[in-house]
């Protein structure tokens, strides 16, 4: 596939296993790496509680065990086996550690193994080259958000807010033709989103998350703890910037004396306040904020967001998109860009010194990955 001349659209499958550790999302997309032509099928392969415990035991490490690596690769192969018609796979892997200020990031899972198992070329290791070039290595969905803004026909700046384990936003100027152009995008992590509440629910109630924000809705947030959390040095850094899932454990410790309901309400309020603080960095006020990721299912969090943000706050379904699969779709889109030699991040999205294309390509007939 040449990077020269007009690009042919490709059906690509994107795989995402995020910091919420719930499972693998796989979504199929037809794109030439610029435009979105068609959305295909999608599927989800959940992680069992014992599997999630395996992940939690290795969060923060720089080398996954053989057992965990095999789980990641097997789970992705199983998820992909339920879909067909794709010519390329974008494999994100599982982030176990992310320290861009130290010049390193680690996503477990080997794309060359997945290529051999599926018989399809795999683009993987999306973040390393960005970090090596001085970038944060995250967030990586912004170039896809730019394509989405144009796909939905936006004519004024909009924000896409992803609420996973960590929150991240992308401010998009849809009038810019090139996502790498100066002023087209601004992207960064907002702060913790679902991860602290999920950890609280697991520790106190043995549940994976606060479904629909039901527990938080019965509590009163301790706003002094929220205010203290907003004093974290991260909030004083200018974007682009990114976080690791475990960067805000101090807030979890601060809610320990609170009741379950008040602790959940406080952590939810902190996630919403982080987004409100982040909106101050937008180059111009957006016409709308479109929410994707698991957090949009939390009615309490959405209510808090609407109270703290001046523009309309809407789930991406309101503009015909699939918020459960948007991150997976992003890695299908990015895989095609990598295959065609196009950049996947830029100074305004990750702080990288220049627009750069990340990712390695493994083909099923090659035993080891080759950088391209």
* pLDDT tens figures, 105-115: 999 999 999 99
Rg for the chain (alpha carbons), in Å?
19
Beta bridge partners of 356: 345
pLDDT at 279: 97
Nearest to 216 by CA among 139, 74, 207, 118: 207
Class for domain 153-319, per CATH?
alpha beta
User: Measured between alpha carbons, how far is 346 from 354 in angstroms, rounded to an integer?
Assistant: 6
| pLDDT above 90 for 242 | no
User: Following CA atoms 262, 266, 272, 276 in sequence, which dihedral angle do they give, to the nearest 10 degrees?
Assistant: 130
Q: Are 39 and 29 in contact (CB under 8 A)?
A: yes
* pLDDT tens figures, 217-235: 999 999 999 999 999 999 9
User: How does DSSP classify residue 3?
Assistant: S
Q: Mean pLDDT for the chain?
A: 94
pLDDT at 368: 44
* pLDDT tens figures, 76-118: 999 999 999 999 999 999 999 999 989 999 999 999 999 999 9
Kind of pairing between the strands at 166-172 and 158-163? antiparallel
Nearest to 210 by CA among 127, 309, 298: 298
| pLDDT above 90 for 246 | no
- Host H or E run for residue 195: helix 195-205
pLDDT at 5: 57
Q: What is 10-136+325-371's CATH number?
A: 3.30.420.40
pLDDT at 2: 37
**53-62, 142-151, 243-252, 338-347: least confidently modelled range:** 243-252
pLDDT at 42: 98
Q: Are 148 and 161 in contact (CB under 8 A)?
A: no
pTM above 0.85, yes or no: yes
Q: Are 268 and 294 in contact (CB under 8 A)?
A: no
pLDDT at 21: 86
For range 6-21, the mean pLDDT: 92
For range 144-156, the mean pLDDT: 98
pLDDT at 20: 78
Q: Are 44 and 57 in contact (CB under 8 A)?
A: no
Beta strands per DSSP E along the chain: 10-17, 23-31, 36-46, 88-99, 104-108, 122-124, 158-163, 166-172, 185-192, 289-292, 313-315, 360-362, 370-371
User: Following CA atoms 272, 274, 276, 282 in sequence, which dihedral angle do they give, to the nearest 10 degrees?
Assistant: -140
Handedness of CA 345, 348, 354, 355 (dihedral sign): positive
pLDDT at 165: 87
Beta bridge partners of 123: 90, 361
User: Following CA atoms 357, 355, 105, 233 in sequence, which dihedral angle do they give, to the nearest 10 degrees?
Assistant: -160
| pLDDT band per the 50, 70, 90 thresholds, residue 41 | very high
* pLDDT tens figures, 305-348: 999 999 999 999 999 999 999 999 999 999 999 999 999 999 99
Complete DSSP assignment for 264-325? HHHHHHHHHHHHHHHHTT-SS--S-EEEESGGGG-HHHHHHHHHH-SS-EEEGGGGT--TTT
More confident residue, 26 or 2: 26
| pLDDT above 60 for 369 | no
User: Measured between alpha carbons, how far is 326 from 309 in angstroms, rounded to an integer?
Assistant: 22
pLDDT at 4: 41
The domain spans of the chain are 10-136+325-371, 153-319
């Amino acid at each position: 596939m040449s990077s020269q001349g007009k690009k042919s659209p490709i059906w690509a499958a994107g795989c995402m296993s995020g910091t919420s550790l719930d499972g693998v999302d796989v979504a199929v997309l037809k794109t030439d790496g610029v435009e979105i032509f068609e959305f295909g099928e999608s599927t989800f392969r959940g992680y069992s509680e014992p599997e999630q415990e395996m992940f939690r035991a290795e969060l923060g490490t720089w080398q996954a065990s053989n057992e965990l690596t095999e789980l990641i690769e097997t789970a992705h192969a199983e998820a992909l086996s339920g879909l067909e018609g794709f010519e390329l796979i974008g494999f994100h892997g599982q982030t176990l550690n992310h320290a861009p200020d130290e010049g390193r990031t680690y996503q477990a899972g080997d794309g060359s193994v997945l290529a051999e198992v599926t018989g399809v070329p795999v683009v993987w290791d999306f973040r390393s080259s960005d970090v090596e070039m001085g970038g944060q290595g995250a967030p990586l969905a912004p170039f896809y958000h730019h394509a989405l803004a144009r796909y939905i026909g936006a004519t004024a700046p909009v924000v896409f807010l992803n609420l996973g384990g960590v929150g991240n936003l992308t401010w998009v100027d849809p009038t810019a033709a090139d996502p790498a152009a100066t002023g087209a995008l601004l992207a960064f992590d907002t702060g913790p989103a679902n991860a602290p509440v999920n950890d609280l629910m697991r520790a106190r109630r043995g549940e994976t998350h606060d479904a629909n924000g039901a527990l938080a809705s019965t509590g009163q947030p301790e706003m002094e703890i929220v205010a203290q959390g907003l004093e974290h040095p991260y909030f004083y850094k200018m974007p682009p910037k990114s976080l690791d899932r475990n960067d805000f454990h101090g807030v979890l410790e601060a809610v320990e004396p609170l009741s379950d309901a008040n602790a959940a309400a406080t952590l939810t309020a902190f996630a919403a306040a982080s987004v409100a603080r982040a909106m101050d960095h937008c180059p111009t006020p957006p016409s709308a904020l479109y929410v994707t990721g698991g957090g949009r299912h939390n009615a309490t969090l959405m209510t808090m967001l609407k109270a703290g943000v001046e523009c309309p706050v809407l789930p991406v379904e309101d503009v015909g998109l699939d918020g459960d699969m948007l991150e997976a779709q992003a890695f299908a889109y990015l895989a095609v860009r990598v295959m065609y030699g196009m950049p996947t991040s830029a100074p305004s999205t990750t702080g990288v010194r220049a627009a750069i294309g990340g990712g390695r390509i493994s083909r099923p007939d090659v035993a080891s990955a080759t950088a391209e």
